């Protein structure tokens, strides 16, 4: 399968993250990509599609913030990586306070996504990888894979979070619509709910968002991904959340997935965008499902059986030593 990755996606390099009350080494590190790249042949660098396809998803004030945040952090006399510590939960007024700490709160929803010097560059080129995979599929490939890093499904039009800065799967989706596709299904099979993707398309009738994930009653991102979130306005009924309990293995996973696949068939999509996270793996250090490496092939095969042109974008997966094997097993389901 055609696979896209740009070496500049390694530039994003936060040192530490806040995890259960302590600072620990950042889980979403470049070694993940190195492990995957070692298992894949024929990886291509994306061409530069520019900023316009990113602007179809993200607000200009957020993009300006993301591009300048680390420089402003350094200019404020700070060391290390930028992250917020105060959040405007009582309504986010469109204030422009021009204070880096205020803007970090304005444009994020958690403290698990520090911004390093290379974050913008990596996020930009990760989005370009998603656009290149989309272009390949629009050009007739049956499926293509974007090895996105940083991941994207937690961030929204104007906020970052959950290791995510630009929503790659949303950027792919909007690019496909701009190129003439009419109804897109997004299937999110990361361990965590794709709250940013859901938010971006919540009121859209032309984009179906289906997610199988750990129940947010027990797992991050807590506030989104509950089964009663079904979309609104023109998007009423085009969001389908299928939460599963911790400990779920292949049998429970397949039952939920089959429900999601049936919804995608009913929707009549003309293209599929998959947010693939391998943090559903039994050995994942921050997640609690029980899938084995060999399980990813039949899971992917049942997705491939939808028989839709398919863009696959990388999301999470933190069992680094097994990540390449898990990705390869998933991609094998499309052969
Ligand atoms: N103590 C993705 O898989 N950290 N993001 C949770 C738990 C955030 C995961 C901290 C996990 C985000 C793309
Ligand atoms: Zn995840």
Cα 162 to ligand 2 centroid, rounded to whole Å: 8
DSSP class of 198: H
Nearest residue by C-alpha to atom 8 in ligand 1: 162
Cβ atoms of residues 329 and 293 within 8 Å: yes
Q: What is the pLDDT of residue 90?
A: 85
Please work out whether the CB of residue 19 comes within 6 Å of at least one atom of ligand 1: yes
Please work out whether the CB of residue 317 comes within 6 Å of at least one atom of ligand 1: no
Nearest residue by C-alpha to atom 5 in ligand 1: 162
**pLDDT exceeding 70 applies to what percent of the chain?**
100
- Provide mean pLDDT across the span 156-172: 98
Cβ atoms of residues 101 and 69 within 8 Å: no
Ligand approaching nearest to the C-alpha of 151:
1
Q: Side-chain half-sphere of 33: how many Cα atoms within 13 Å?
A: 26
- 85 pLDDT exceeds 90? yes
Please work out whether the CB of residue 220 comes within 6 Å of at least one atom of ligand 1: yes
Q: Are strands 2-4 and 43-44 parallel, antiparallel or unpaired?
A: parallel
Cα 286 to ligand 1 centroid, rounded to whole Å: 7
Nearest residue by C-alpha to atom 3 in ligand 1: 316
Give the whole-angstrom CA distance, residue 70 versus residue 190. Answer: 28
Please work out whether the CB of residue 198 comes within 6 Å of at least one atom of ligand 1: no
Token pair, residue 118, equals: 């290379």
Token pair, residue 100, equals: 């880096």
Q: What is the pLDDT of residue 80?
A: 96
Cβ atoms of residues 158 and 170 within 8 Å: no
- 219 pLDDT exceeds 90? yes
Please work out whether the CB of residue 126 comes within 6 Å of at least one atom of ligand 1: no
DSSP class of 2: E
Q: Edge to edge, what strands does the sheet with 271-276 contain?
A: 43-44, 2-4, 143-146, 310-314, 271-276, 184-188, 207-214, 239-244
Contacts of 8 (CB under 8 A, 6+ apart): 118, 121, 122, 124, 125
pLDDT digits (tens, 9 = 90+) for 104-152: 999 999 998 999 999 999 999 999 999 999 999 999 999 999 999 999 9
DSSP class of 84: -
Cα 111 to ligand 1 centroid, rounded to whole Å: 10
- Provide mean pLDDT across the span 291-301: 98
**Mean pLDDT, all residues of the chain:** 97
Give the whole-angstrom CA distance, residue 335 versus residue 333. Answer: 6
Identify any residues that bridge with 276 across adjacent strands, giving them in sequence order: 314
Residue with tokens 């709160």: 105
Q: What is the pLDDT of residue 243?
A: 99
Q: What is the pLDDT of residue 98?
A: 92
Q: What is the pLDDT of residue 264?
A: 98
Whether 10 sits among the annotated catalytic residues: the reply is no
Nearest residue by C-alpha to atom 9 in ligand 1: 162
**Ligand 1 site-directed mutation target among 20, 23, 28, most atoms within 8 Å of CB:** 28
Please work out whether the CB of residue 151 comes within 6 Å of at least one atom of ligand 1: yes
- 87 pLDDT exceeds 90? yes
Cα 236 to ligand 1 centroid, rounded to whole Å: 28
Q: Cα 170 to the chain's mean position, in Å? A: 9
Please work out whether the CB of residue 149 comes within 6 Å of at least one atom of ligand 1: no
Task: Classify 323 as helix, strand or coil.
Answer: helix
**What are residue 205's phi and psi, to 5 degrees?**
-85, -15
Token pair, residue 269, equals: 């999509």
- Provide mean pLDDT across the span 5-21: 96
Q: What is the pLDDT of residue 1?
A: 96
Contacts of 330 (CB under 8 A, 6+ apart): 276, 278, 296, 297, 299, 300, 312
Residues less than 5 Å from ion ligand 2, measured at CB: 190-192, 277, 279, 316
Q: What is the pLDDT of residue 330?
A: 98
Please work out whether the CB of residue 192 comes within 6 Å of at least one atom of ligand 1: yes
**Ligand 1 site-directed mutation target among 275, 286, 287, 288, most atoms within 8 Å of CB:** 286
- Which long-range contacts link 228-235 to residues 24+ away (Cβ below 8 Å)? 229/198, 231/202, 231/203, 232/202, 232/203, 233/203, 234/203, 234/204, 234/205, 235/201, 235/202, 235/203, 235/204, 235/205, 235/207
User: What spatial distance separates the first Cα and last Cα of the chain, rounded to whole Å?
Assistant: 8
pLDDT band at 92 (very low <50, low <70, confident <90, very high): confident
pLDDT digits (tens, 9 = 90+) for 261-290: 999 999 999 999 999 999 999 999 999 999
273: nearest Cα among 328, 314, 224: 314
pLDDT band at 94 (very low <50, low <70, confident <90, very high): confident
- The neighbour count for residue 299, using CB atoms within 10 Å, is 21
- 91 pLDDT exceeds 90? no
Give the whole-angstrom CA distance, residue 134 versus residue 129. Answer: 9
Cα 261 to ligand 2 centroid, rounded to whole Å: 20
pLDDT band at 26 (very low <50, low <70, confident <90, very high): very high
- 172 pLDDT exceeds 90? yes
Cα 152 to ligand 2 centroid, rounded to whole Å: 10
Give the whole-angstrom CA distance, residue 322 versus residue 265. Answer: 32
């Amino acid at each position: 399968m055609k696979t896209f990755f740009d070496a500049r996606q390694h530039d994003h390099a936060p040192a530490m993250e806040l995890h259960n009350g302590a600072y620990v080494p950042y889980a979403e590190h470049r070694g993940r990509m190195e492990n995957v790249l070692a298992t894949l042949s024929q990886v291509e660098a994306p061409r530069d599609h520019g900023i316009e396809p990113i602007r179809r998803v993200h607000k200009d004030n957020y993009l300006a913030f993301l591009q300048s945040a680390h420089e402003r952090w350094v200019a404020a006399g700070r060391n290390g990586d930028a992250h917020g510590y105060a959040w405007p939960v009582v309504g986010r007024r469109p204030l422009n306070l021009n204070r880096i700490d205020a803007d970090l709160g304005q444009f994020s929803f958690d403290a698990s996504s520090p911004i390093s010097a290379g974050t913008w560059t990596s996020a930009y080129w990760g989005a370009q990888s998603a656009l290149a995979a989309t272009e390949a599929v629009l050009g007739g490939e049956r499926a293509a894979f974007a090895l996105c890093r940083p991941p994207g499904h937690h961030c929204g039009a104007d906020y970052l979070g959950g290791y995510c800065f630009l929503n790659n799967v949303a950027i792919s989706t909007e690019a496909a619509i701009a190129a003439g596709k009419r109804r897109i299904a997004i299937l999110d099979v990361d361990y965590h709910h794709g709250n940013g993707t859901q938010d971006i398309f919540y009121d859209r009738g032309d984009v179906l968002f289906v997610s199988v994930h750990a129940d947010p009653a027990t797992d991050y991102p807590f506030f989104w991904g509950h089964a009663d979130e079904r979309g609104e306005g023109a998007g009423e009924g085009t969001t389908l959340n299928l939460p599963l309990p911790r400990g779920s293995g292949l049998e429970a996973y397949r039952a939920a997935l089959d429900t999601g696949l049936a919804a995608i068939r009913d929707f009549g999509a003309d293209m599929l965008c998959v947010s693939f996270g391998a943090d559903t793996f039994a050995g994942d250090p921050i997640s609690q499902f029980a899938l084995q490496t060999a399980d990813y092939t039949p899971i992917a095969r049942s997705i491939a059986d939808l028989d839709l042109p398919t863009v696959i974008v990388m999301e999470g997966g933190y069992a680094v030593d097994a990540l390449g094997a898990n990705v390869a097993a998933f991609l094998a389901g499309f052969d």
